[in-house]
């Protein structure tokens, strides 16, 4: 059987040949794209893997810093304590309250600066920084820290705790009106998960700091009527008894 040899002109006019050439060119082009895409996916996967490893390491280090801060925050105080807080035993001991809060705050600040307010651990660290500042008498710094935590959206529970502490702090520092405003807003907020009776006790004390005994009694009576049994009801009863006594003291 003979073989027919096509001329270049005939080959060029062949639609099947054109289709084959187009298919080959397309395959080559797509092969390059597929290869580059595959390489890109691998690189992204490696970066994500390394990034997650970095975040895990960073989280681990932050947890250690936070744990050390909590140990110091709740540490014992003993005038005979050494420079090394662990010199007297496995639990940290400091010479003074000031020393332990300053040491704790150093660790909380590390975590807070590392994570900011976009991370729950960062929010927790900022909250405890505010408590340390409050206990150290750093009024403006404590207000700034607790206000920032109160406005965070990463952890609403810690945010409401910060607002509660802030309200009490205002009352204790001669500005009960701000305390009243914060507590009233929290009691009305349906998203606030803190015990309402506890907030009402604080609100009653804020009213008393204003010299408004009538409102203080009213709030406690509402708390007594609206609450159930429990430790808070016992505390409400004691507060009511104290306020209803003309001397202002429980009998």
| Residue that finishes a domain, picked among 97, 129, 154 | 154
Please provide residue 77's backbone torsions phi and psi, each rounded to the nearest 5 degrees: -120, 130
User: Do the bridges between strand 76-77 and strand 93-94 make them parallel or antiparallel, or are there none, so unpaired?
Assistant: parallel
89 and 71 in a common domain? yes
Res. 117: pLDDT tops 80 = no
- In-domain check, residue 6: no
HSE-CB for 43 with a 13 A CA cutoff? 6
250 and 162 in a common domain? yes
Residues 6+ apart with CB under 8 A from 148: 117, 126
Distance CA 133, CA 130 (A): 5
246 and 161 in a common domain? yes
Three-class DSSP category at 66: helix
What is the CATH classification number for the domain harbouring 175?
1.25.40.10
Question: What pLDDT is stored for residue 87 in this prediction?
Answer: 94
User: pLDDT digit string (tens) for 165-189?
Assistant: 999 999 999 999 999 999 999 999 9
166 and 128 in a common domain? no
What counts of helices (H) and strands (E) characterise the chain? 10, 2
Res. 233: pLDDT tops 50 = yes
119 and 197 in a common domain? no
User: pLDDT digit string (tens) for 43-96?
Assistant: 333 333 333 343 455 678 888 999 999 999 999 999 999 999 999 999 999 999
Expressed as residue numbers, the domain containing 70 is 62-154
181 and 147 in a common domain? no
185 and 239 in a common domain? yes
160 and 250 in a common domain? yes
| Residue that finishes a domain, picked among 154, 177, 203 | 154
User: What's this model's pTM, rounded to 2 decimal places?
Assistant: 0.73
179 and 116 in a common domain? no
Task: Give the orientation angle of helix 120-135 with respect to helix 97-115, to 10 degrees.
Answer: 150
- In-domain check, residue 145: yes
- Quick one: pLDDT band at residue 18, thresholds 50, 70, 90? very low
- In-domain check, residue 30: no
- In-domain check, residue 27: no
DSSP string for residues in 78-124: -TT--SSTTTTSSS-EESSHHHHHHHHHHHHHHHHHHHTTSSHHHHH
Question: What pLDDT is stored for residue 228 in this prediction?
Answer: 67
171 and 100 in a common domain? no
| Residue that finishes a domain, picked among 113, 137, 154 | 154
- In-domain check, residue 160: yes
Distance CA 54, CA 47 (A): 10
Nearest to 162 by CA among 122, 138, 132, 128: 128
Query: Do 89 and 68 meet the contact criterion of CB atoms below 8 Å apart?
Result: no
Burial class (CB in 10 A: 0-12, 13-18, 19+), 189: middle
- In-domain check, residue 53: no
């Amino acid at each position: 059987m003979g073989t027919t040899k096509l001329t270049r002109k005939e080959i060029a006019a062949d639609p099947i040949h054109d289709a084959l050439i187009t298919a080959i060119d397309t395959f080559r082009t797509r092969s390059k794209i597929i290869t580059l895409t595959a390489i890109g996916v691998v690189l992204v996967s490696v970066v994500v893997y390394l990034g997650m490893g970095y975040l895990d390491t960073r989280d681990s280090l932050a947890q250690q810093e936070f744990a050390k801060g909590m140990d110091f925050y709740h540490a014992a105080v003993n005038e005979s304590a050494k420079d090394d807080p662990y010199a007297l035993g496995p639990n940290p001991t400091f010479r003074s309250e000031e020393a332990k809060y300053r040491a704790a705050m150093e660790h909380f600040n590390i975590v807070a600066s590392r994570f900011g307010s976009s991370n729950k651990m960062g929010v927790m660290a900022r909250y405890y920084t505010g408590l340390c500042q409050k206990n150290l008498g750093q009024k403006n710094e404590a207000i700034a820290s607790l206000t920032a935590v109160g406005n965070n959206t990463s952890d609403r529970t810690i945010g409401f705790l910060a607002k509660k502490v802030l309200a009490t702090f205002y009352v204790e520092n001669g500005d009960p009106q701000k305390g009243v405003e914060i507590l009233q807003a929290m009691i009305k907020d349906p998203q606030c998960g803190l015990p309402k009776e506890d907030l009402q006790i604080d609100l009653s004390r804020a009213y008393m700091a204003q010299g408004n005994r009538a409102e203080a009694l009213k709030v406690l009576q509402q708390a007594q009527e609206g609450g159930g049994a429990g430790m808070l009801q016992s505390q409400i009863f004691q507060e009511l008894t104290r306020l209803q006594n003309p001397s202002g003291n429980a009998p």
